C-alpha cells in the first residue's frame, strides 16, 4: 500500500473515536513515528509504498488508539516547552497548562536572579525540573517522586536533554523532611477528586497513572497541605511555592495557604481558568 492509502484507511478506522480536528494531528504524529517523515516529507512521499513491517506497525497503532491508548504512549514521546520527552504509562503526559506554571517561575527568576535552588515535587517525566534547568542554567534543580518508574524516565529525559538534575525517590505524604533548602518549591501534584473519574476520558483514566491524578474526595488538597507544611521548614527567606491546581479549587487553595500563614496569589491559564498559585511565607 501507498502512504496516502494507509492514511485514508486509518482515517476511516479512527473516525469513530476521534473528531477530524483531533485526528489529523494524531495521524501526522503516527506517520512520522513509523516512517520518520515529518509533515512536509509526508506530502512529498504520499505516493510512496509502505513496507510490510510499517503496515503492521500502523495496524497495531490503530488498535491501540481505538482501545483508548494515548498517541504519546504509542510513540513514547511528548512535547513540553519545545523539547521532546520520553513518556510511558509510568508518568503523566505533559500538558500545555503546566508550561504556563514553568513560565511563571522563569518570570520570577528574571527578577530574583537565575541562581535559584529549585525543588520539583512529583516530577513524573521530569518535564518541569528539566525545563527550568534548561531555562535557568545557573539554578540548582532537584526533583522527587514516589514512583521508581517515574524517576527512571525522568533520569533518562534529563540525560537526553543534558540537564543536570538530582532525583530522589520520596513519598511526600510520608516524610518529615525534604533533602535540602530551596528558594523555589514547585509542584503539579495529584488534585482531581476521585468522584470526577467517571466523567473523564477513558484514555486518561485507563492509561495514565491514577496515582499521579486522583485524590480522595474528602481531602482533595492533601498534597498541598503536606507540601506547604514542609515548605515552612525548607523554603529560604522570601522563598516561593508554585503550584498547579484544579481549576475550581482556587478559593480553597488561597484559604488553605492563608490559614497556614502564607501570602498567596492565583493566576489563570490561557483558558481563563484558575490553574496556578504562587505563595510565600508571611513575615513573623
Non-local CB neighbours of 16 within 8 Å, separated by 6+ positions = 66
Mean of the per-residue pLDDT values of the chain? 94
pLDDT in tens, 105-146: 999 999 998 899 999 999 999 999 999 999 999 999 999 999
Residue 57 has pLDDT above 80, yes or no: yes
Q: What is the pLDDT of residue 215?
A: 85
Q: What is the pLDDT of residue 198?
A: 79
State mean pLDDT over 185-208: 83
Q: What is the pLDDT of residue 39?
A: 92
**Helices 3-14 + 20-35 axis angle, to 10:** 140
Confidence class for position 56, pLDDT limits 50, 70, 90? very high
Q: Which of 49-53, 142-146, 168-172, 199-203 is predicted with the least confidence, judged by mean pLDDT?
A: 199-203
CB under 8 Å, gap of 24 or more: what pairs does 247-256 form?
A: 247/273, 247/274, 247/275, 248/274, 249/191, 249/220, 249/221, 249/274, 250/274, 250/277, 252/220, 252/221, 253/221, 253/224, 253/277, 256/221, 256/224, 256/225, 256/228
State mean pLDDT over 169-180: 94
User: Phi and psi of 62, rounded to 5°?
Assistant: -65, -40
Residue 205 has pLDDT above 80, yes or no: no
Confidence class for position 206, pLDDT limits 50, 70, 90? confident
Q: What is the pLDDT of residue 274?
A: 94
CB 188, CB 122: distance < 8 Å: yes
Instruction: Among 195-204, 205-214, 249-258, name the most confident range.
Output: 249-258
Non-local CB neighbours of 216 within 8 Å, separated by 6+ positions = 193, 194, 222
Three-state secondary-structure class, residue 78: strand
CB 217, CB 197: distance < 8 Å: no
| Residues linked to residue 265 through DSSP beta bridges, in sequence order | 278
Global pTM value = 0.93
How many CB atoms neighbour CB 140 within 10 A?
Answer: 17
**Locate cell 491559564: which residue?**
269
Amino acid at each position: 500500500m501507498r502512504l496516502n492509502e494507509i492514511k485514508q484507511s486509518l482515517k476511516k478506522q479512527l473516525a469513530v473515536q476521534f473528531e477530524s480536528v483531533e485526528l489529523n494531528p494524531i495521524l501526522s504524529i503516527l506517520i512520522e513515528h513509523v516512517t520518520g517523515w515529518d509533515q512536509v516529507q509526508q506530502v512529498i512521499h504520499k505516493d510512496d509504498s509502505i513496507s510490510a513491517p510499517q503496515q503492521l506497525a500502523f495496524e497495531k497503532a490503530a488498535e491501540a488508539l481505538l482501545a483508548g491508548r494515548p498517541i504519546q504512549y504509542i510513540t513514547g514521546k511528548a512535547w513540553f516547552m519545545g523539547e521532546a520527552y520520553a513518556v510511558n504509562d509510568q508518568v503523566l503526559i505533559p500538558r500545555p497548562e503546566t508550561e504556563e506554571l514553568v513560565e511563571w517561575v522563569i518570570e520570577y527568576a528574571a527578577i530574583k536572579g537565575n541562581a535559584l535552588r529549585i525543588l520539583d515535587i512529583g516530577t513524573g517525566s521530569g518535564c518541569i525540573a528539566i525545563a527550568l534547568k534548561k531555562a535557568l542554567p545557573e539554578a540548582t534543580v532537584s526533583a522527587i517522586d514516589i514512583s521508581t518508574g517515574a524517576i527512571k524516565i525522568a533520569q533518562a529525559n534529563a540525560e537526553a536533554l543534558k540537564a543536570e538534575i538530582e532525583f530522589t525517590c520520596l513519598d511526600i505524604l510520608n516524610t518529615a523532611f525534604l533533602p535540602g533548602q530551596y528558594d523555589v518549591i514547585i509542584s503539579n501534584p495529584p488534585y482531581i477528586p476521585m468522584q470526577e473519574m467517571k466523567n473523564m476520558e477513558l484514555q486518561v483514566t485507563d492509561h495514565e497513572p491514577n496515582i499521579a491524578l486522583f485524590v480522595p474526595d474528602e481531602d482533595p488538597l492533601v498534597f498541598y497541605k503536606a507540601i506547604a507544611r514542609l515548605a515552612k521548614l525548607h523554603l529560604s527567606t522570601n522563598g516561593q511555592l508554585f503550584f498547579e491546581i484544579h481549576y475550581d479549587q482556587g478559593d480553597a487553595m488561597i484559604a488553605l495557604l492563608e490559614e497556614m500563614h502564607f501570602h498567596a496569589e492565583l493566576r489563570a491559564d490561557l483558558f481563563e481558568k484558575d490553574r496556578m498559585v504562587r505563595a510565600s511565607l508571611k513575615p513573623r
